[in-house]
């Protein structure tokens, strides 16, 4: 990739002036927009709570789980903690600052990924403004994943991987870092599999040579081929350095075939809905890239096309992968958006540094004002989880089986570990055992009473207004034992 392009102020600063430069100002603008957008998201993610309990028990016992011990429905069923290392990050943040710690941990990972996209976009385009523009789009794509989730590690590691791979085109081979990256990646999130496939495809493209219209590929040298084969073999070998050995390596592939019901039930695994405003906006970005190829045609490296096709398939098939498409495609889009170089500026470098310093101070202050406090974060949790019901729920320990909302299971396991839940967001173990199917039928009033009888349910914690809550409220065999603004607890009448 050519290193020529825009020569905007601050693009090649001296060492002493890099802190007060135009790119730093733009980076802080991105962080401000990210924090502003993330404030409404809060920390109310259904998964974070069972992740916290995992981390707490790992640190307390020193043992990695191999079977479920939290529910009465799949107790003893094989289950491995495939994201243990990233859970420790969030647990440390929780122990340090509670809810604010979770928020800060989330934002640090998110900001690192966003700035990584910003860097990739600049490296491909050599235009800071084009990089800023596509990074602002990336924030919009990122909203899908913006929560205290282990997935954020996956996106950050993917950005790092692309930086390493694309550095080859800049004449800097850093691929020796890839085995270390995968050693960490497999222990933090299952998205390592996506990264490994992309690495193999990137290297495989270099076994070809040729030009086909607007598509080109250059064959690796024999020395590069040997090096990349060695890197691939080493990256594969280190995947087995984990607490579960081959089972953790096989987990992403097995999960694809096991969790078909879960992918239908969970919203983020749904296909991109082009009838929504978000779906239309994502489509508009991709169509814009296609139009730019007609207006400003250029030659595409083969690996860019391969990555773009994978990204498009992922984004349209699963909403969860919209940000994956952002990481793979937006830096390429920046290449087509770069502007002609502006005329040389007459401003003195010292004056520009002072202006940048003032802008940086103002942006840091604005970022600080957007950081939510603990009361605001706690209120957000109370909005999404049945916090007022907790004292009553704790009294149910040992009194009978509890049916609970899927989204609330992990929160219950964190807040009231003495209770045994029916289900939680660990989709894999419940899908494989059939519990998720039974839950989906019961919650949607399909053979509900037979399912409650089969699992010997005495209590049911449900969202007010749900189909199942309406059904139980109008059945003589059940009575309301507790109710609040958002939740209701039913008890068998007999």
Q: In the β-sheet with 210-212, what is the strand arrangement from edge to edge?
A: 210-212, 215-217, 300-301
Indicate if the pLDDT at residue 393 is higher than 90: yes
The mean-pLDDT minimum among 117-131, 178-192, 342-356 falls in 342-356
pLDDT tens column, 273-318: 888 888 898 899 889 888 988 888 888 999 999 999 999 999 998 8
Look at the block and give the residue holding tokens 């191999």: 66
pLDDT of residue 487: 96
Band (pLDDT 50/70/90 cuts) for residue 258 is low
Better pLDDT: 7 or 373: 373
Mean pLDDT of 22-34: 90
Are the C-beta atoms of residues 409 and 58 closer than 8 Å to each other?
A: no
* Bridging pattern class, strands 487-492 and 210-212: unpaired
Band (pLDDT 50/70/90 cuts) for residue 390 is very high
Mean pLDDT of 391-405: 95
Share of the chain above pLDDT 70, in %: 90
User: What's the residue count for the chain?
Assistant: 494
**Residue 211 φ/ψ, nearest 5 degrees:** -135, 130
**Residue 344 φ/ψ, nearest 5 degrees:** -55, 140
pLDDT of residue 8: 44
Mean pLDDT of 246-268: 72
Mean pLDDT of 366-393: 93
* Bridging pattern class, strands 457-463 and 401-404: parallel
Mean pLDDT of the chain: 89
pLDDT tens column, 205-239: 999 998 888 888 999 999 999 999 999 999 999 99
Band (pLDDT 50/70/90 cuts) for residue 350 is low
Indicate if the pLDDT at residue 7 is higher than 90: no
Distance CA 353, CA 379 (A): 42
pLDDT of residue 6: 43
Are the C-beta atoms of residues 43 and 381 closer than 8 Å to each other?
A: yes
pLDDT of residue 343: 58
pLDDT of residue 1: 40
| Sequence ranges of the domains in the chain | 80-337, 385-492
Indicate if the pLDDT at residue 15 is higher than 80: no
Distance CA 326, CA 472 (A): 44
pLDDT of residue 263: 57
Band (pLDDT 50/70/90 cuts) for residue 145 is confident
pLDDT of residue 265: 59
Band (pLDDT 50/70/90 cuts) for residue 351 is low
Q: Is the dihedral of CA 197, 337, 140, 281 positive or negative?
A: negative
Indicate if the pLDDT at residue 244 is higher than 70: yes
pLDDT tens column, 400-440: 999 999 999 999 999 999 999 999 998 888 988 899 999 99
């Amino acid at each position: 990739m050519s290193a020529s392009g825009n020569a905007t102020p601050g693009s090649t600063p001296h060492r002493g002036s890099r802190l007060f430069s135009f790119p730093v100002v733009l980076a802080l603008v991105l962080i401000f927009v990210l924090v502003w957008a993330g404030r409404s998201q809060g920390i109310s993610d259904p998964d974070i709570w069972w992740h916290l309990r995992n981390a707490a028990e790992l640190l307390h016992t020193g043992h990695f789980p191999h079977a479920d011990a939290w529910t009465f429905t799949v107790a003893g069923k094989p289950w491995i903690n495939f994201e243990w290392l990233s859970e420790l990050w969030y647990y440390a943040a929780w122990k340090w600052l509670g809810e604010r710690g979770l928020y800060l941990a989330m934002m640090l990972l998110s900001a690192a990924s966003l700035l990584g996209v910003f860097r990739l976009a600049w490296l491909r385009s050599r235009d800071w403004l084009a990089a800023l523009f596509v990074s602002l789009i990336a924030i919009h794509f990122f909203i899908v994943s913006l929560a205290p989730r282990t997935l954020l590690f996956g996106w950050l590691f993917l950005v790092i991987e692309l930086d390493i791979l694309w550095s080859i085109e800049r004449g800097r081979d850093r691929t020796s870092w890839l085995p270390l990256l995968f050693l960490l990646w497999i222990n933090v999130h299952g998205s390592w599999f996506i990264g490994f496939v992309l690495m193999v495809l990137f290297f495989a493209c270099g076994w070809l040579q040729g030009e086909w219209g607007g598509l080109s590929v250059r064959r690796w040298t024999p020395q590069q081929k040997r090096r990349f084969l060695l890197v691939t073999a080493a990256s594969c070998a280190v995947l087995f350095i984990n607490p579960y050995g081959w089972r953790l390596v096989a987990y992403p592939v097995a999960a694809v075939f096991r969790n078909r019901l879960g992918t239908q039930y969970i919203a983020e695994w749904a296909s991109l809905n082009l009838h929504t405003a978000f779906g239309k906006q994502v489509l508009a970005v991709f169509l814009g890239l296609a139009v730019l190829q007609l207006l400003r045609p250029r030659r595409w490296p083969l690996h860019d096309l391969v990555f773009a096709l994978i990204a498009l398939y992922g984004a349209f098939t699963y909403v969860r992968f919209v940000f994956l498409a952002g990481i793979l495609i937006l830096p390429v889009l920046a290449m087509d958006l770069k502007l002609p170089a502006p005329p040389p500026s007459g401003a003195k470098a010292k004056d520009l540094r002072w202006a940048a310093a003032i802008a940086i101070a103002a942006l840091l202050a604005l970022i600080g004002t957007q950081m939510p406090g603990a009361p605001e974060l706690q209120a957000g949790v109370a909005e999404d989880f049945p916090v007022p019901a907790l004292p009553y729920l704790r009294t149910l320990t040992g009194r009978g089986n509890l049916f609970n909302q899927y989204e609330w299971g992990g929160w219950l396991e964190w807040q009231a570990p003495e209770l045994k839940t029916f289900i939680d967001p660990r989709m894999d173990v419940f899908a494989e055992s059939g519990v998720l199917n039974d839950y989906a039928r019961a919650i949607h009033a399909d053979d509900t009473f037979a399912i409650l009888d089969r699992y010997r349910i005495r209590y049911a914690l449900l969202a007010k207004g749900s189909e199942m809550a309406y059904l139980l409220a109008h059945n003589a065999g059940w009575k309301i034992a507790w109710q609040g603004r958002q939740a209701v607890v039913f008890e068998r009448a007999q």
